[in-house]
């Protein structure tokens, strides 16, 4: 299949990108890595009049430490995120999840910003962003604003981004020294996550000082496993305590039933995978 | 139409393309590079995999059906046809032949390009790493086993460690056949 | 030429085919561009069942770059009809199958209108301008519902959704006893229902066709397994003289039965080219393939096995309900019938009854998919034998031993009337068990069971045979198949001593060029490199019945041997003349005729070829050609067999299945090229595992295919499949001069039950007796849950 | 597939009935809908559905198959077609109004039979029912508010030309009227009773991904379109 015809612009500044989007109105669409968008276009499920390609924005690539945050440019590819020394040192959970996205070819083109703005409920990176309370910096006609991940993901494929806004940077807390695990369950290696669990754990004196847990594909947006985190706070870093906490994993989730799995099975998986993720993250 | 300029298999082309043109179709229809094939429309099969330089000029495997030709502007692209420009086989091509890593051959161009990219990143991959590295390429004929074997063997040869033993007899280097072109 | 050459047969020759495939110098149909060629796009029905109330293509026809647009009614008279070549019963319901729907659509994906344009994109753009109204009709998707009272009818004029019922009864056939009697006397009865889910063959190359009406003939390039059958049927159903049609199957990227078809798209491209008088190309997108290319399997199997408490099977009753889909494709009705002869498998069952009912539903038609009928049969009996073993507390291998045909009992005529010429099930099984370390794994299994481990180990066994070498023409005739099963080959010695071989087989990945070269090299005593094999072009390969059903070597290979032998015989006459001796005085070895007792007096095949070419000094009555043509029609089938063992770890918590070891020992008779044989086994096993664990075509109640792309129709990648440990035993077939049996389908046939048997074996202590395919983690998890809840309540 | 939605509004049945048949009042509940013609029985319109990268436009027509005032039942048949690709949706929706015992409120039941074909089905991951239910729920949610306002209130704002499924407070959907659990409704719900019932009947249940391409949502659009017809 071949996409419906569209116009194409490739701005070289963020400001130009924003104004190109504003000019496009309702019919504009941002092209980041294109790994989700191009299949949609090929199947003619969408027919934007203009594609605004952010591929020329070199300033949106790369990761750096900025105070107590790790700042990653939105156009940094999954392969770059997964392979970045600074990401692996500061937020290894993000690198681990990025390494599990799609396949090599997809990771070479797909970008962090694209994956977040796409807001696929089975996407891995939105879950990490929510688990870690990332802040998403967006640029619009009125300048830049920062949106907490918890508020960024509004619904299935729906974010707080305005149609003339561009996601430019993702800021994450530096979690060097935390244990982490992205546990991904797939029907086949090519399949999207049936369920995923992002877990980061800080141990202190044999107990869990802090834990952050979020789930992939357990609702229209990433689900923060609040009940699990609550149960973990101050708990012993023991297998039993982690298992008990993981039993709360599906609380507050509203998973779908689809071809890959039923809601009931997803809830079961969420509990099992959360236990496994916590166990790994806690180094047990 | 948009004007693009790119290098494909060592040759520089400048063309006007419709923005909707996929790189795969540009290669096939406009450049006649029909060695790169298209097997699906959802970026699953990987048959269209080519190497394209990234913003830093490093060649990376991409699925050319999930890239617009306009996105390849200024980049360098290597297809299966440009892997061994002097007519000799690339070690990966030779290994695919020697290890019987292909049957119908339709997935082969993409599979070889993916494997070349994989070995560039990981010069000494284990069988499991090869399997993971090729997860973006589907093959319906071989069950992947000989493909895995071929990639491991090619990697060894490319490291200069000497090729792993072939499943078959001493390889007779196949004579390249002239391209068949319909009138 | 004097050195004694190592025999080519049996050598792991690297493939001649590879060079162009690994360098991208390939001629796929989609790669071919002809002068003036146009591109066709097809509008397909989004409805599973509807009346077409109105079609207006005028806006599409007026769109930029569009040369013509038309719908079914525009070509109703000229488009011909698609043919089913296998009306399995006299009273079969065989509906008309128009390539382009005219008044009614009966499955999602059925072609309804066409645009032909200068380029592909314009054709696709114009498709959106076609205005079409449907009146939806009731949809029937479920086979059993379709047979029920008051079901909506797929073909109203047929008055029924039943296509046919085909019965075999060993009591009536005289080949065995009465199953009803076996039922009465049975000490043990095993009753199982298995569902062979619907699969999509999914060769990596999508189907593609070019029809070239220029230059006075019709040339059709098609990504097909069956150029000869395509040519014949195109002629027969469009009224075009056969001698004006040439079909070329260029490089073809896999088939697996999926290209054993005469497709609506080929016919529509023919109609389109006829309208515009220019070459027309059509290549489907994958999402079109999913809904329009034929599917496979989709059979409900009700199996009843009767046995004594010592494990001896006394009778087998098989009732199938087979989904035809909306229409009958080339061999749709015959696919389950091919399995009818295989349910008794390698066993000496004394009584057997088989009944199959073919049913129409509003789904894509089914047809051949790798194994075609035989994987279904093998799955059912191998799963059932495991259940019998469990019921009796016997090792599953032991229960098989007590029933299988012993090697000294060959030839053996089965309850299904086939005579198995050879086999050695004991040897293959022993070898497989030893390769796997069967006893050790059983011990580990015991330990894990005792420990109630989260991950349990299962060992699955599949001892299979299959009928290959389709097929003796007389048998096909008796089964009401519309054609024969012979194959043709011709061999031409060129004056320089090179050899040109033309085969009627039509390879699409199997490596015939290499294997045929090996056979010819041995038979003629010429170097492997000196043989070229031509195929897949009806202008070159005039006669042939193409490639499917593991037939190419066992039928086409024998034709090739015969042609070679005829060439040698003719050369012998020439050599004798040149050497001034009697043909009886000549011995032939390594490509050279030598006078017995005077070894220096010799002529090579090349000498003879040159002499024939020069024709200066030929014996009287000998024509100046050194070539021969042979057609071989097998007298019987061939019967490869083997034992596959699968050791699987099953996570009781998540239901995940991990294949830890996969061992197979296949006996495919004499092996021409062990490397190619191993490759066929790998690929076959992979596809069988895919059925067991991953793949399923799913429809919703409205007849929409929900698995309409590779996103949801989950074909395994390298990560998802195990390393296969393959070995062989070699019991040559006695029914053909090469001793070969065929290998194309063996792996697929054997592996599916091995995997599912392993899963069920792992979970048997937890009350699980079956897991429906594909055994996804969720299905495994549910099977464990429902078994344990039943145990609690009972 | 069949879907059922039920809710109770705190107005007498006669009042609710009048609103239900008032095209001008009810149609705007449909995000992305444009009614192009209505002759009292038959109607035509379009629905544009946009969700993430997917954007599709459906065109269709329908009619009141029956309007039974005595039994307070309306039956609508409608069908729409994807402007590209030929996918369709056909719906038969039956709405029943029933007075509560005290006569102060009205129980509304909507049963929808929906058949969707084409790309949403083929690429939607088998989520049509789920997604359809969610969208119907959003419509019902809005409808409950509208009916609860009674006949005296002014009509709601004009529908947006297109609307994302979730009524995110973004410039993309200034007039979106489809409240979800993820975003506050654009207008206050007046009936606590209705809200509770909505939750009980699963209307605010989260739907899911129809990923990767989310076509399921197009189907949702068709559902809403079918309902437009219902109240058009």
Confidence at D230, pLDDT banded by 50, 70, 90: very low
What's the pLDDT score for residue A190?
94
pLDDT (mean) for D195-206: 27
What's the pLDDT score for residue D200?
26
Does residue A92 or residue D75 have the better pLDDT? A92
Mean pLDDT of chain A: 96
pLDDT (mean) for C139-147: 97
Confidence at C81, pLDDT banded by 50, 70, 90: confident
B79 contacts in C (CB within 8 Å)? 24
What's the pLDDT score for residue D184?
32
For B135, which of C204, C285, C717 is closest by C-beta distance?
C717
B49-53, strands of its sheet edge to edge: B11-17, B2-8, B76-78, B49-53, B59-63
For B133, which of A35, A51, A104 is closest by C-beta distance?
A104
For residues C140 and C326, the answer to whether their CB atoms sit within 8 Å is: no
What's the pLDDT score for residue D112?
83
- Is residue B78 within 8 angstroms of chain C, CB to CB? no
For B142, which of C26, C203, C679 is closest by C-beta distance?
C679
In DSSP notation, C731-771 reads ---SSSTT-B---TTHHHHHHHHHHHHHHHHHHGGGT----
For C705, which of D116, D122, D213 is closest by C-beta distance?
D122
- Is residue D209 within 8 angstroms of chain C, CB to CB? no
What's the pLDDT score for residue A31?
97
d(CA A67, CA A174): 9
Which residues, at least 6 apart from C453, have a Cβ–Cβ distance to it below 8 Å? none
For residue C639, is pLDDT > 80? yes
Contact at CB, B139 and C204, closer than 8 angstroms: yes
For residue C645, is pLDDT > 70? yes
Does residue D67 or residue C190 have the better pLDDT? C190
What's the pLDDT score for residue D3?
80
What's the pLDDT score for residue D181?
32
What's the pLDDT score for residue D64?
81
Chain B: list its partners (3+ Cβ pairs within 8 Å). A, C
Among all residues of chain C, which has the CA nearest to that of B95? C22
Contact at CB, C654 and A269, closer than 8 angstroms: yes
Candidates D2, D121, D214, partner chain C, best to mutate (most C CBs within 10 A): D121
Candidates A4, A259, A270, partner chain C, best to mutate (most C CBs within 10 A): A259
* Per-residue pLDDT tens digits for C274-301: 999 999 999 999 999 999 999 999 999 9
* Per-residue pLDDT tens digits for D145-164: 888 876 554 444 333 333 33
- Is residue B149 within 8 angstroms of chain C, CB to CB? no
- Is residue B120 within 8 angstroms of chain C, CB to CB? no
With CA atoms as reference, report the closest residue to C425 among C376, C461, C380. C461
Contact at CB, A53 and B132, closer than 8 angstroms: no
Rg of chain D (C-alpha set): 16
pLDDT (mean) for C354-360: 98
Chain centroid, CA B96 distance in Å: 12
Contact at CB, C23 and B35, closer than 8 angstroms: yes
- C729: which 2 tokens? 């035993």
What's the pLDDT score for residue D129?
62
**Residue whose entry in the numeric block shows the structure tokens 């005529």:** C413
pLDDT (mean) for C536-556: 95
Residues of chain A numbered 113-142 and touching chain D (CB < 8 Å): 118-122
d(CA D106, CA C484): 73
**Residue whose entry in the numeric block shows the structure tokens 């994450």:** A172
Percentage above 70 pLDDT, chain D: 56
Contact at CB, C287 and A1, closer than 8 angstroms: yes
* Total Cβ atoms within 10 A of residue D37: 10
For C653, which of A5, A194, A272 is closest by C-beta distance?
A272
Question: Which segment of C250-254, C409-413, D52-56 scores lowest on mean pLDDT?
Answer: D52-56
For residues D49 and D134, the answer to whether their CB atoms sit within 8 Å is: no
Among all residues of chain D, which has the CA nearest to that of A216? D209
**Residue whose entry in the numeric block shows the structure tokens 């009049």:** A49
Contact at CB, A256 and D166, closer than 8 angstroms: no
D87 contacts in A (CB within 8 Å)? none
B114 contacts in A (CB within 8 Å)? 104-105
CA distance D155 to chain A (A): 26
Contact at CB, D124 and C701, closer than 8 angstroms: no
Which phi-psi region, left, alpha or beta, contains residue C742 (left: φ > 0; alpha: ψ -120 to 50)? Answer: left
Contact at CB, C704 and D122, closer than 8 angstroms: yes
CA distance A188 to chain C (A): 6
For C723, which of B40, B145, B179 is closest by C-beta distance?
B145
Exposed e or buried b per residue across A250-277, where buried means at least 16 C-beta atoms within 10 angstroms of its C-beta: bbebbbbbbbbbebebbbbbbbbbbbbb
Residues of chain D numbered 119-148 and touching chain A (CB < 8 Å): 119, 123, 125-127, 130
- C788: which 2 tokens? 């344990």
Candidates D213, D219, D221, partner chain A, best to mutate (most A CBs within 10 A): D213
ipTM for this model: 0.92
Contact at CB, A120 and D212, closer than 8 angstroms: yes
Among all residues of chain C, which has the CA nearest to that of D61? C133
CA distance C285 to chain A (A): 6
For residues C24 and B177, the answer to whether their CB atoms sit within 8 Å is: no
CA distance B61 to chain A (A): 5
What's the pLDDT score for residue D132?
65
* Per-residue pLDDT tens digits for A157-183: 889 999 999 999 999 999 988 999 999
D130 contacts in A (CB within 8 Å)? 256-258
Confidence at D209, pLDDT banded by 50, 70, 90: very low
Among all residues of chain D, which has the CA nearest to that of C41? D85
Confidence at C526, pLDDT banded by 50, 70, 90: very high
- Is residue A233 within 8 angstroms of chain D, CB to CB? no
pLDDT (mean) for B4-15: 98
D25 φ/ψ angles, rounded to the nearest 5 degrees: -80, -40
* Per-residue pLDDT tens digits for B107-152: 999 999 999 999 999 999 999 999 999 999 999 999 999 999 999 9
Is residue C483 helix, strand or coil? coil
Candidates A34, A252, A256, partner chain D, best to mutate (most D CBs within 10 A): A256
Chain centroid, CA B159 distance in Å: 19
Confidence at C120, pLDDT banded by 50, 70, 90: very high
Cα torsion C440, C443, C449, C453: sign? negative
What's the pLDDT score for residue D56?
75
* Per-residue pLDDT tens digits for C87-106: 999 999 999 999 999 999 99
For residue D144, is pLDDT > 90? no
For B148, which of C683, C686, C718 is closest by C-beta distance?
C718
Contact at CB, A120 and D211, closer than 8 angstroms: yes
Contact at CB, A45 and D215, closer than 8 angstroms: yes
Mean pLDDT of chain C: 96
Which phi-psi region, left, alpha or beta, contains residue B46 (left: φ > 0; alpha: ψ -120 to 50)? Answer: left
For residue B181, is pLDDT > 80? no
* Per-residue pLDDT tens digits for C12-22: 999 999 999 99
Contact at CB, B104 and C285, closer than 8 angstroms: no
For residue A15, is pLDDT > 90? yes
- Which helix (H) or strand (E) covers residue A88, if one does? helix A85-90
- Is residue D151 within 8 angstroms of chain C, CB to CB? no
CA distance B9 to chain A (A): 19
Chain D: list its partners (3+ Cβ pairs within 8 Å). A, C
Question: Which segment of C487-491, C619-623, C714-718 scores lowest on mean pLDDT?
Answer: C619-623
pLDDT (mean) for D33-50: 79
pLDDT (mean) for A126-132: 98
For residues C718 and B144, the answer to whether their CB atoms sit within 8 Å is: yes
What's the pLDDT score for residue C448?
98
Contact at CB, A187 and C714, closer than 8 angstroms: yes
Contact at CB, C134 and D88, closer than 8 angstroms: yes
CB pairs under 8 A between A and C: 51
Percentage above 70 pLDDT, chain C: 99
Which phi-psi region, left, alpha or beta, contains residue B97 (left: φ > 0; alpha: ψ -120 to 50)? Answer: alpha
């Amino acid at each position: 299949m071949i996409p419906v015809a569209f116009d194409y612009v490739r701005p070289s500044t963020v400001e130009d990108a924003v104004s190109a989007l504003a000019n496009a109105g309702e019919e504009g669409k941002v092209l980041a890595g294109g790994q989700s968008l191009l299949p949609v276009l090929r199947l003619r499920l969408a027919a934007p009049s203009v594609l605004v390609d952010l591929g020329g924005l070199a300033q949106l690539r790369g990761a750096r430490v900025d105070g107590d945050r790790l700042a990653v440019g939105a156009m940094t590819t999954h392969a770059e995120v997964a392979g970045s020394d600074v990401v692996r040192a500061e937020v290894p959970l993000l690198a681990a999840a990025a390494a599990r996205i799609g396949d090599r070819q997809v990771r070479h083109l797909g970008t962090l910003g694209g994956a977040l703005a796409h807001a696929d409920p089975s996407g891995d990176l939105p879950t990490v962003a929510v688990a870690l309370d990332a802040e998403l910096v967006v640029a619009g006609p009125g300048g830049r604003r920062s949106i907490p991940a918890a508020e960024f993901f509004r619904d299935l494929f729906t974010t707080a981004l305005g149609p003339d806004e561009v996601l430019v940077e993702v800021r994450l807390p530096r979690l060097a020294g935390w244990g982490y695990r992205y546990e991904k369950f797939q029907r086949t290696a090519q399949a999207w996550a049936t369920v995923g669990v992002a877990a980061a754990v800080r141990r202190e004196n044999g107990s869990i000082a802090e834990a952050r847990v979020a789930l992939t594909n357990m609702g229209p947006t990433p689900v923060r496993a609040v009940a699990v985190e609550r149960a973990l706070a101050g708990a012993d870093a023991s297998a039993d305590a982690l298992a008990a906490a993981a039993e709360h994993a599906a609380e507050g989730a509203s998973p779908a039933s689809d071809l890959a799995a039923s809601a009931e099975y997803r809830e079961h998986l969420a509990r099992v995978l959360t236990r496994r993720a916590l166990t790994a993250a806690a180094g047990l | 139409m948009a004007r693009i300029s790119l290098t494909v298999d060592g040759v520089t082309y400048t063309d006007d393309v419709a923005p909707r043109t996929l790189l795969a179709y540009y290669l096939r229809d406009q450049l006649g590079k029909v060695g790169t094939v298209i097997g699906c429309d959802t970026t699953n099969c990987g048959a269209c995999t080519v190497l394209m330089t990234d913003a830093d000029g490093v060649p990376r495997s991409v699925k050319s059906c999930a890239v617009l030709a306009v996105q390849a502007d200024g980049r360098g692209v290597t297809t299966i046809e440009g892997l061994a420009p002097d007519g000799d086989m690339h070690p990966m091509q030779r290994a695919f032949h020697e290890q019987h890593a292909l049957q119908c051959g339709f997935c082969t161009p993409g599979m070889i390009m993916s494997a070349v990219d994989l070995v560039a990143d990981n010069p000494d991959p284990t069988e499991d790493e090869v399997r993971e590295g090729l997860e973006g390429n589907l093959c319906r004929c071989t069950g992947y086993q000989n493909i895995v074997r071929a990639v491991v063997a090619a990697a060894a040869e490319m490291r200069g460690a000497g090729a792993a033993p072939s499943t078959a007899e001493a390889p007779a280097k196949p004579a390249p056949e002239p391209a068949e072109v319909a009138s | 030429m004097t050195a004694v050459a190592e025999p080519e047969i049996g050598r792991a020759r690297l493939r001649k085919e590879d060079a162009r495939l690994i360098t991208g110098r390939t001629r796929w149909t989609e790669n071919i561009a002809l002068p003036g060629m146009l591109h066709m796009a097809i509008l397909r029905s989004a409805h599973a069942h509807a009346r077409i109330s109105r079609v207006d293509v005028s806006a599409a026809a007026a769109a930029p770059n569009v040369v013509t647009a038309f719908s079914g009614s525009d070509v109703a008279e000229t488009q011909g009809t698609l043919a089913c070549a296998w009306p399995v019963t006299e009273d079969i319901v065989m509906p008309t199958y128009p390539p382009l729907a005219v008044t009614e659509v009966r499955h999602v994906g059925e072609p309804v209108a066409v645009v032909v344009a200068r380029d592909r994109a314009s054709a696709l753009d114009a498709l959106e301008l076609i205005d079409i109204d449907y009146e939806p009709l009731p949809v029937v998707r479920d086979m059993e519902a379709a047979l029920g009272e008051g079901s909506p009818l797929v073909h109203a004029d047929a008055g029924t959704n039943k296509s046919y019922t085909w019965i075999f009864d060993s009591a009536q056939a005289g080949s065995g006893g009465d199953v009803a009697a076996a039922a009465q006397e049975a000490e043990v009865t095993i009753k199982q229902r298995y569902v062979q889910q619907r699969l999509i063959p999914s060769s990596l190359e999508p189907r593609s066709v070019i029809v070239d009406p220029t230059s006075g003939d019709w040339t059709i390039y098609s990504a097909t397994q069956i150029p000869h059958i395509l040519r014949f049927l195109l002629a027969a159903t469009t009224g075009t003289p056969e001698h004006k049609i040439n079909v070329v199957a260029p490089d073809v990227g896999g088939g697996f039965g999926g290209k054993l078809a005469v497709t609506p798209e080929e016919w529509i491209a023919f109609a389109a080219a006829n309208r515009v008088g220019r070459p027309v190309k059509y290549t489907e997108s994958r999402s079109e393939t999913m809904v329009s290319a034929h599917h496979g399997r989709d059979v409900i199997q009700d199996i009843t096995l009767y046995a004594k408490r010592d494990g001896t099977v006394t009778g087998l009753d098989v009732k199938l309900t087979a989904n035809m889909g909306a229409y009958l494709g080339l061999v749709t009705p015959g696919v389950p019938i091919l399995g009818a002869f295989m349910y008794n498998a390698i066993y000496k069952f004394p009584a057997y009854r088989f009944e199959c009912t073919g049913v129409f539903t509003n789904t894509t038609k089914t047809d051949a998919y790798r194994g075609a009928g035989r994987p279904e049969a093998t799955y059912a009996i191998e799963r059932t034998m495991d259940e019998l073993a469990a019921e009796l507390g016997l090792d599953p291998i032991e229960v098989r031993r007590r029933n299988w045909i012993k090697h000294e009992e060959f030839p053996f005529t089965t309850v299904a009337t086939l005579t198995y010429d050879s086999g050695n099930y004991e040897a293959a099984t022993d070898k497989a068990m030893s390769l796997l370390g069967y006893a050790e794994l059983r011990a580990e299994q015991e330990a894990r069971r005792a420990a109630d481990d989260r991950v349990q180990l299962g060992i699955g066994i599949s001892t299979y045979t299959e009928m290959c070498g389709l097929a003796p023409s007389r048998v096909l005739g008796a089964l009401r198949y519309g054609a024969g099963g012979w194959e043709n080959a011709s061999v031409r010695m060129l004056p320089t001593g090179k050899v040109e071989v033309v085969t009627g087989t039509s390879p699409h990945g199997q490596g015939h060029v290499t294997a045929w070269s090996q056979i010819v090299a041995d038979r003629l005593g010429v170097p492997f490199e000196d043989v070229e094999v031509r195929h897949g072009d009806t202008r070159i390969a005039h006669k042939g019945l193409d490639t499917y059903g593991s037939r190419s070597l066992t039928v086409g290979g024998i034709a090739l041997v015969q042609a070679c032998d005829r060439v040698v015989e003719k050369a012998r006459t020439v050599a004798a003349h040149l050497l001034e001796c009697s043909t009886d005085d000549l011995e032939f070895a390594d490509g050279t005729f030598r006078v017995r007792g005077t070894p220096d007096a010799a002529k090579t095949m090349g000498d003879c070829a040159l002499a024939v070419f020069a024709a200066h000094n030929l014996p009287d009555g000998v024509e100046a050609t050194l070539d021969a043509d042979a057609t071989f029609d097998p007298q019987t089938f061939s019967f490869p067999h083997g034992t596959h063992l699968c050791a699987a770890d099953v996570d009781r918590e998540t239901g995940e299945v991990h294949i830890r070891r996969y061992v197979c020992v296949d006996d495919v008779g004499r092996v021409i090229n062990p490397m190619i044989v191993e490759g066929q086994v790998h690929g076959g096993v992979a596809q069988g595992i895919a059925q067991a664990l991953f793949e399923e075509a799913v429809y919703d109640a409205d007849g929409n295919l929900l698995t309409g792309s590779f996103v949801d129709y989950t074909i395994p990648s390298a990560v998802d499949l195990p390393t296969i440990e393959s070995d062989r035993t070699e019991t040559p077939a006695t029914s053909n001069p090469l001793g070969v049996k065929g290998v194309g389908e063996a792996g697929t046939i054997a592996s599916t039950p091995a995997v599912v048997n392993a899963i069920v074996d792992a979970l048997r202590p937890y009350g699980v007796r079956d897991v429906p395919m594909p055994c996804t983690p969720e299905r495994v998890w549910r099977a464990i849950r429902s078994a344990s809840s039943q145990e609690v309540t009972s | 597939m069949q879907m059922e939605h039920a809710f109770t509004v705190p107005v007498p049945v006669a009042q609710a009935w009048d609103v239900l048949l008032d095209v001008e009042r009810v149609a705007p509940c449909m995000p992305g809908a444009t009614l192009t013609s209505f002759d009292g029985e038959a109607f035509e319109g379009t629905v544009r559905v946009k969700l993430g990268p997917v954007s599709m436009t459906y065109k269709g027509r329908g009619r009141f198959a029956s309007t039974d005032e005595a039994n307070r039942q309306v039956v609508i048949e409608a069908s729409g077609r994807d402007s590209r690709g030929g996918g369709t949706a056909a719906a038969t929706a039956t709405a029943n109004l029933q007075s509560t015992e005290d006569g102060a409120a009205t129980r509304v039941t909507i049963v929808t039979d929906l058949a969707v074909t084409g790309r949403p089905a083929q690429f939607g991951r088998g989520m049509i029912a789920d997604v359809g239910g969610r969208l119907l729920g959003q419509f019902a949610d809005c409808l409950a508010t509208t009916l609860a306002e009674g006949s005296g209130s002014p009509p709601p704002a004009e529908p947006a030309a297109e609307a994302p499924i979730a009524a995110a407070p973004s410039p993309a959907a200034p007039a979106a009227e489809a409240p979800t659990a993820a975003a506050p409704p654009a207008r206050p719900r007046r009936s606590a009773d209705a809200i509770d019932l909505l939750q009980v009947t699963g209307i605010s249940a989260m739907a899911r991904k129809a990923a990767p391409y989310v076509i399921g949502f197009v189907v949702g659009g068709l559902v809403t379109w079918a309902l437009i017809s219902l109240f058009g």
